[in-house]
Amino acid sequence: MKSFKFSRRDLLIGSGALAAGATFSTRVLSAAPPASAITPQLIEAAKKEGKVVWYTSVDLPLAERIAKSFKDKYPGVDCRVERTGAERVFQRIGQEYGSNIRAVDVVNSSDAAHLIVWKNQGWLAPFVPEDVAKHFPAEHKDADGTFASFRVFLCPMGYNTNLVKAEEAPKSFADLLDPKWTGKIVKAHPSYSGTILTATFQTSRDLGWEFFEKLAKQKIMQVQSATDPPKKLALGERAVMVDGIEYGMFQLKEKGNPVEIIYPSEGTPLIVGPNAVFKEAPNPNAARLLQSFMFSAECQQLAIDHGGLRSAHALTKEKAGRKPLSQIKLMKDDAAAVEKQSAEIKARYTQIFKV
């Protein structure tokens, strides 16, 4: 697992004086609480609340599948999934909190920078599920125990195997600028998707914004969610995708759809999607139960096997037939830098692509 996203040291190194000061102060004032196991008392209290609301940007069918396995395991606790793009989730929660509405219990975002913001605002509850304490490496959990990496995945390129022969498929981001791909490319949007915002940050950092300026001349089809480009490939609507969720590609491919993943030679953007419980969650016990369930080996393995995600949980196994993370050249993630550049990335992207 080559991710350093949540190590506090990286945060401090990557941050400017101001942000570093903020992170530092939270470190001094608080530390992670002791690990919490799922106790019969917690289950009982969760059943009394009867429901829990999970705001997430996980691809909807997978999110509902996870919710269903939670409901099956803890009958009497309903789990409602509130799914939209991570940037929308962020706006939604900000808007609701600004209006004194406390609807969100547990959150998952594919833009790890959001967790930093929420934590600094003091909105997240320190809560460490037993599995996180025991089986998650330090770089995948917040030192103060407010969040941990629920999911890890990539944002690769891809193509439709009916429309493109394997030997003709692009191998790198640079290949996409070839005129033969004009009008044949689909791409998702960083103002909607946390995955794409994170990927745009990494790609523009490593390849420069000129890459996007040239890409914009390729008459791309602009969709919103990072979950959509794989679906557009499966429909045969476009031949190649610039970015999209790897786990969606796995799912489609394993169901027999004509899609294939490309891990570009420049490196593939690495996305980490942390989960957190809100301090003022309307269903605090059910929220903790859900959070604990989602970090269990059972749920993490379900997300891998059924959903195509990758996991930081030490006891999970990668599924056969998928390229192991260790064999893929990754771009380096940097949530603290994303947090600072987020608005600028969106503005610049919109200026280049016109929407």
Partner 1 sequence: MTIALPAQAAERAKFKLDYTVPVLAGFAAVLCVLVVLPVSWLIYYSVTIGDPASNVRVFTLAHFYTLFTDPAFVNPLLTTITVAVSSSVLCCAVAAPMGWLVARTDMPFRRTVRLLVTASFVTPPFLGAVAWEILAAPNSGLLNQLYRFVTGAPQDEHLFNIYSLSGLIFVITCYTFPYVFVLVANALDRIPADMEEASAMLGAGTWRTARRVTIPLALPALLAGILIAFLQAMILFGSPAILALPAGFHTMTTKIWSLFQYPPQPELAAAASLPLLVVTVMLLRAQHTILGRKGYTVLGGKNADPRLIKLGWLAVPAMTFVVAVISLPLFLPYFALFNAAFSPIATTLVTPANATLHNIYFTFVELSSTQLALNNTFILGAASATLGTVLALVIGYATARQAVTGHRVLGFLATAPIAIPGIVLGVGLFLSYTRPPLVLYGTLWVLLIAYVTIELPAAYQQLQSAFRAVNPELEDASRILGATRLQTLRRITAPLLRTNVLATWCFIFVSTIRELSAAIMLFTSETKVVSVLIFDLKESGELGAISVLGLSMLVLTFAVVIGVNRMPGFGGTRLRNT
**Binding residues vs partner 1 (CB under 8 A):** 53, 55, 59-61, 64-65, 67-68, 78-85, 87-88, 90-92, 94, 96, 98-101, 103-104, 163, 183-184, 191-192, 219-225, 227-228, 231-232, 234-238, 257, 342-343, 346, 350-351, 353-355
Return the number of the residue (248 or 267) whose C-beta is nearest partner 1: 248
Task: Write the single-letter amino acid at 98.
Answer: G
Q: Shortest distance, CB of residue 323 to partner 1, whole angstroms? A: 24
Q: Shortest distance, CB of residue 31 to partner 1, whole angstroms? A: 31
Return the number of the residue (107 or 132) whose C-beta is nearest partner 1: 107
Return the number of the residue (4 or 90) whose C-beta is nearest partner 1: 90
Within 10 angstroms of residue 208's Cβ, the number of other Cβ atoms is 10
Return the number of the residue (132 or 234) whose C-beta is nearest partner 1: 234
Return the number of the residue (104 or 331) whose C-beta is nearest partner 1: 104
Asked whether 290 and 42 are in contact (CB, 8 A), the reply is: no
Q: Which of 235, 240, 234, 191 is nearest to 215 (CA)?
A: 240
Token pair of 177, please?
């600028």
Q: Shortest distance, CB of residue 71 to partner 1, whole angstroms? A: 9
Return the number of the residue (25 or 91) whose C-beta is nearest partner 1: 91
Q: Shortest distance, CB of residue 136 to partner 1, whole angstroms? A: 27
Distance separating alpha carbons of residues 65 and 56, to the nearest angstrom? 13
Q: Shortest distance, CB of residue 299 to partner 1, whole angstroms? A: 16
Return the number of the residue (184 or 310) whose C-beta is nearest partner 1: 184
Q: Shortest distance, CB of residue 122 to partner 1, whole angstroms? A: 19
Q: Shortest distance, CB of residue 143 to partner 1, whole angstroms? A: 27
Distance separating alpha carbons of residues 156 and 242, to the nearest angstrom? 7
- The H or E element spanning position 33 is none
Distance of alpha carbon 168 from the chain centroid: 30
- Classify residue 239 by burial, with Cβ atoms within 10 Å: 0-12, 13-18, 19+: buried
Distance separating alpha carbons of residues 185 and 332, to the nearest angstrom? 25
Asked whether 60 and 297 are in contact (CB, 8 A), the reply is: no
Asked whether 57 and 89 are in contact (CB, 8 A), the reply is: yes
